[in-house]
Structure 1
């Protein structure tokens, strides 16, 4: 799975500084939130500048980052992190500590490999509105993660679809840790190690594999 994930050349043209650490975690034993996801204090080396880099990236494909915020921006603004389930709480904690957008997906819900592309505008995006399941579509040119069935995350890392979200029943997951200049590559790697540590605490038998795609 990891070796099949593709970053489209259109993304490279938009942001040649983009790097992503991809992680699969197989054999998870997820469960309800227990309030012990980990420390959210900023990690050594985090200087507060990565959020602005992502805001600029959003402007680059026509999105106002004040109206649709990068995921890490939204989390940092919340103060107290939401409690979803143990695995989601773990990657949200690492996201805040390392000021890094992190997506988590149920690997078994995927239809084909993940790929980061610019949307045509007709891709289906499964979401919810007013408590009801709905299908939306991205704007043409929008940066999206997708698989063969449709959009898995809109506006690069703004909002994930409901189809591939991590639930308490998730056994195998894909994590996407995204970086732009001038964020240090060693911090990206350290974030992956921190996430591996938390996942191992949750599921001692978990098997984690990684792939780094750098500029």
Structure 2
């Protein structure tokens, strides 16, 4: 049995956080009607401008809340929440390109709701997945790289028995567990730290689940973890 577990050291820093998961089984991520996903992303980019009403980029609430969160744990200099990176591209007029259906779907939801989303290939996992503080010795090869860049001790990471899966909470994902067109089983997650946006968070999770099911088939299951519900079975 493989589980997703959120450790006590995370909750001590973020007791009010919610982590939404969508477990996808038996999907077909090789479907490549590119126009569908280009349209999803283009529409999401338009909607994302609603979150950028403040002239100073970092003053927008969906950005500032994560800037403050990243000050509570050890981070690599310049590391930012994934939603900040996406929204900055939108603000600068840089179109979000398609990658593969799963990534395009979760990027579109991330933009539409200004919430960080990510995903990993379940079949690459080694043991349980944990959201916790790194000890600093976890191997980590970033997406698109071949060099080991382990997290700092005290950095929030997703990790399994082989090493880190995502550094600085939701900043940079690993090459080893990335979603590809061959992915059949996927672990998608969405993170919330602004308690006032709980309704939007649940709407976004439902829409993410529905889009995956509609476009890629298979089965999908939503689970929301919080301080009272700290682990979920992924499979087995």
TM-score normalised per structure 2: 0.81
Q: How big is the shift at 1:183?
A: 4.1
Structure 2 CA distance, aligned partners of 1:149 and 1:68? 23
Q: How big is the shift at 1:64?
A: 7.0
The 5-angstrom pairing of residues 127-142 of structure 1 reads 127=142, 133-142=146-155
Query: Residue 210 of structure 2 aligns with which residue?
Result: 197
Query: Residue 176 of structure 1 aligns with which residue?
Result: 189
Structure 1 CA distance, aligned partners of 2:200 and 2:51? 8
Q: Does 1:51 align with 2:63?
A: yes
Residue pair 2:132, 2:156 contacting (<8 A) in 1 also: yes
- Give the total of aligned pairs: 209
Q: How big is the shift at 1:132?
A: 5.1
Residue pair 2:142, 2:172 contacting (<8 A) in 1 also: no
2:147 aligned counterpart, secondary structure: strand
Q: Does 1:30 align with 2:9?
A: no
Q: Does 1:111 align with 2:123?
A: no
2:206 aligned counterpart, secondary structure: helix
Q: Deviations over 1:155-211 (max 9, x none)?
A: 0000000010000110110001100023422211111111122212322x3200121
Unaligned runs of 5+ in 2: 53-59, 228-236
Q: Deviations over 1:18-60 (max 9, x none)?
A: 11111101111113461423230448x9795232211111111
RMSD, matched Cα: 2.2
Structure 1 CA distance, aligned partners of 2:141 and 2:82? 18
Alignment CA distance shift 1:20-1:166 (3 Å): same
Residue pair 1:87, 1:202 contacting (<8 A) in 2 also: no
TM-score normalised per structure 1: 0.89
The 5-angstrom pairing of residues 9-158 of structure 1 reads 9-31=8-30, 32=32, 34-37=34-37, 38=40, 39-40=43-44, 41-42=46-47, 49-63=61-75, 67-79=78-90, 80-127=95-142, 133-158=146-171
Residue pair 2:145, 2:175 contacting (<8 A) in 1 also: no
Residue pair 2:76, 2:168 contacting (<8 A) in 1 also: no
Alignment CA distance shift 1:15-1:85 (3 Å): same
Q: How big is the shift at 1:62?
A: 3.5
1:156 aligned counterpart, secondary structure: coil
Stretch moving more, 136-145 or 192-201: 192-201
**Could you say which structure has the higher helix fraction?**
2
Unaligned runs of 5+ in 1: none
1:187 aligned counterpart, secondary structure: helix
1:127 aligned counterpart, secondary structure: coil
Query: Residue 8 of structure 1 aligns with which residue?
Result: 7
